[in-house]
Amino acid sequence: MEIFYAKEAAGSKVFLDQEESVHCVRVLRHHVGDEIVVVDGMGTMMRCRLTDDSPKGACAEIMESSCGWGGHDYSLTMAVCPTKNNDRFEWFVEKATELGVDVIAPVIGERSERKVFKTERSRKIALSAMKQSLKAKLPVIEEPVTVKDFIASAGSGIKMICYCFEGETLRRSVEDVLKGVPKGAKITIMIGPEGDFSPEEAQQALENGFIPVHLGPSRLRTETAAVTATTAVYLHFIE
Amino acid sequence: MEIFYAKEAAGSKVFLDQEESVHCVRVLRHHVGDEIVVVDGMGTMMRCRLTDDSPKGACAEIMESSCGWGGHDYSLTMAVCPTKNNDRFEWFVEKATELGVDVIAPVIGERSERKVFKTERSRKIALSAMKQSLKAKLPVIEEPVTVKDFIASAGSGIKMICYCFEGETLRRSVEDVLKGVPKGAKITIMIGPEGDFSPEEAQQALENGFIPVHLGPSRLRTETAAVTATTAVYLHFIE
């Protein structure tokens, strides 16, 4: 099933941007009258009929729409330190989008290998993965902030920090923290860089209500840990 | 921590092959007398002292060894249909190795996009991931066989087949199947191609004791499904 993405809708019509229009009309060779499926990135899937097949700006009439298409029963923010190798972080973005994630917040830690991060490629990966996995809600990829700033503004809900060192505070498993957590819960998980969070960052997180968690005995790369944590949440809610 | 791999050991000595020797001596500049950590790919980690620093064939004396280093409490075989794009399958090999897997069996289904598969690159990825994740046991990457041949020779233990279509038989979650399963269990999970298993393959699997499972509501790529299933097993045993 081929899905199109349209940010813009007015009344009963949707407008595909140039990239989507070219794909729809030139690559897939759709014509006026064809039925196409369009998502708006906010959770709504629309069955449409093409009314204008211009490759510069196609347009379609909405015949029916459904909200929460391909959605999930929780709100998940993954705050992850960007990896030295961009491909690895993008692999995490793609996999988290397929499984289910709402916000991906790149966070720069004291020990991060990568201090600069460009969100554009990750946003393209998320868009593509949303369409390929038949979801209608586009994960938000935030601009990077420091770990400390993220912790300070993390807000409410269940917050977890995943670090490797064994400190004084006992780390729990993600599943253990999620026991009894109801559907619709807001969950935030922070994953540190390869060099781990600094003791100061971990301390600040604990003081701000972050629960320390581990991801089992295996020594996982940053992006693997991020996908594993995303999967732990996903699997918890499918029972 | 830098880990070296040595298939060959004789008495109290280990021998690094050329590739490992070059890395040890030329790249990392180790000298006679240096302490190095060597794994044998069969589960044993050895603390050694370099006795010969030739870049063509280094040699080290074993000072102490420990079995089951970085191991896990179950035996997992992942039978996965190779993806059209090799990179994606290799991501799965790397991530499964980091988490914990014993055998990766590429299986060619009726609806597989890829009918030919070369194991060499996957074996290199597994070796590299084993070392990076501080494990001593190398996952076995089998030569590809057909899905039907794999099912016929799958042997004992808990066997699961993950397909997407909704048939007559109710699919359970992996976690549900694993409830009460003891440590040391032998587990096999088969993941189908993007086009899914054929009804005949699924039927043959059921007749051969494979339990039908799903991986939740999200529509996952083949390699994502494979990593998700591997993660479901990993997370089950960390409780």
Of the residues A16, A49, A67, the one at which a domain ends: A67
Name the percent of chain A lying above pLDDT 90.
Answer: 90
Contact A99 B220 (CB under 8 A): yes
> In this complex, is the C-beta atom of A233 within 8 Å of any C-beta atom belonging to chain B?
no
Distances (CA, A) of B188 to A144, A224, B58: 41, 22, 38
Do B8 and B118 fall into the same domain? Answer: no
Domain with A43, as residue range(s), is 3-67
Residue in A with minimal Cα distance to B92: A224
> What pLDDT was estimated at residue B164?
86
From A177's Cα to the closest Cα of chain B, the distance in A is 12
pLDDT value at residue A194: 87
Same domain, A29 and A131: no
How many domains, in total, are found in chain B?
A: 2
- Whether B96 shows a pLDDT value over 70: the answer reads yes
With bands split at pLDDT 50, 70 and 90, how would you rate the model's confidence at A239?
low
**What pLDDT sits at residue B1?**
84
Choice between B194 and B48, residue whose per-residue pLDDT is larger: B48
Cα maximum dimension of chain B: 65
Q: Do residue A220 and residue B98 have CB atoms under 8 angstroms apart?
A: yes
Which of A34, A67, A100 represents a domain boundary (last residue)?
A67
Q: Are A175 and B235 in contact (CB < 8 Å)?
A: yes
- Whether A23 shows a pLDDT value over 70: the answer reads yes
Residue A9 scores a pLDDT above 90: no
- Residue at which a domain ends, from A67, A86, A114: A67
Cβ B216–A224 below 8 Å, yes or no? no
Q: Which of A4, A45, A18 is nearest to A136 (CA)?
A: A45
- Which residue of B98, B173, B176 is in closest CB contact with A224? B98
Q: Which residues contact A189 (CB under 8 A, 6 or more apart)?
A: A76, A77, A78, A79, A159, A160, A161, A162, A174, A213, A229, A230, A233
Q: Please provide the average confidence, as pLDDT, over all residues in chain A.
A: 95
B175 to A70: CB separation less than 8 angstroms, yes or no: no
> What is the distance in angstroms between the Cα of B88 and the nearest Cα belonging to chain A?
10
Average pLDDT over residues B202-218: 96
Looking at the complex, report in whole angstroms how far the Cα of residue B82 sits from the nearest Cα belonging to chain A: 18
Is the same domain home to B81 and B57?
Answer: no
Q: Please report which residue ranges of A22-146 form alpha helices under DSSP H.
A: 86-99, 119-132
Q: Is A64 on the interface with B (CB under 8 A)?
A: no
How many beta-carbon contacts under 8 Å exist across A and B?
Answer: 86
Share of chain A above pLDDT 70, in %: 100
pLDDT of residue A100: 98
pLDDT digit string (tens) for A209-227?
A: 999 999 999 999 999 999 9
CATH code (residue B24): 2.40.240.20
Helix runs in chain A, H state only: 18-21, 86-99, 119-132, 147-152, 174-178, 199-207, 222-237
List the 151-190 stretch of B: residues with Cβ below 8 A of A. 173, 175-176
Residue B239 has pLDDT above 70, yes or no: no
| Average pLDDT for B124-136 | 97
In this prediction, residue A160 carries a pLDDT of 98
Report the residue of chain B nearest A101, measured CA to CA.
B218
- B127 and B17, same structural domain? no
If asked whether residues A124 and A233 sit together in one domain, one would say yes
Mutate to test the interface with A, among B231, B234, B236 (most CBs of A within 10 A): B231
- In Å, how far are A81, A158, A190 from A162, measured between CA atoms? 11, 13, 6
Q: Please tell me whether residues A129 and A156 are part of one structural domain.
A: yes
Q: Per the structure block, which two tokens stand in for B99?
A: 């988490």
Q: Mark whether B120 and B157 lie in a shared domain.
A: yes
Residues A27, A79, single domain; the answer is no
Coil, helix or strand for A233? Answer: helix
Q: What is the mean pLDDT of residues A92-113?
A: 96
Would you call B93 an interface residue with chain A, using a CB distance cutoff of 8 Å? no
Q: For A121-151, how does the pLDDT look when each residue is reduced to its tens digit (9 = 90+)?
A: 999 999 999 999 999 999 999 999 999 999 9
Residues A130 and A226 both lie in one domain? yes
The complex's ipTM works out to 0.95
> Rg (Cα) of chain B, in Å, rounded?
20
Search chain A and give the residue with CA nearest B88: A91
Distance from the B5 Cα atom to the nearest Cα atom in chain A, whole angstroms = 18
- Note the pLDDT tens digit of each residue in B138-183: 999 999 999 999 999 998 999 999 988 877 789 999 999 999 999 9
pLDDT value of position B194: 87
Q: Specify the pLDDT at position B4.
A: 97
Average pLDDT taken over every residue of chain B: 95
Share of residues in chain B with pLDDT > 90 (%): 90
Residue A18 has a pLDDT of 95
Residues A83 and A9 in one domain: no
Q: B228 and A70: CB-CB below 8 Å?
A: no
Domain CATH code at residue B203: 3.40.1280.10
pLDDT score of A165 more than 90: no
Which long-range contacts link A115-118 to residues 24+ away (Cβ below 8 Å)? Answer: A116/A144, A117/A82, A117/A89, A117/A144
Q: Would you call B217 an interface residue with chain A, using a CB distance cutoff of 8 Å?
A: yes
Residues B135 and B153 in one domain: yes
Q: Is B228 on the interface with A (CB under 8 A)?
A: yes
Does A227 lie at the interface with B, CB-CB under 8 angstroms?
yes
Percent of chain B with pLDDT over 70: 100
Assess whether A126 and A210 both reside in one domain.
yes
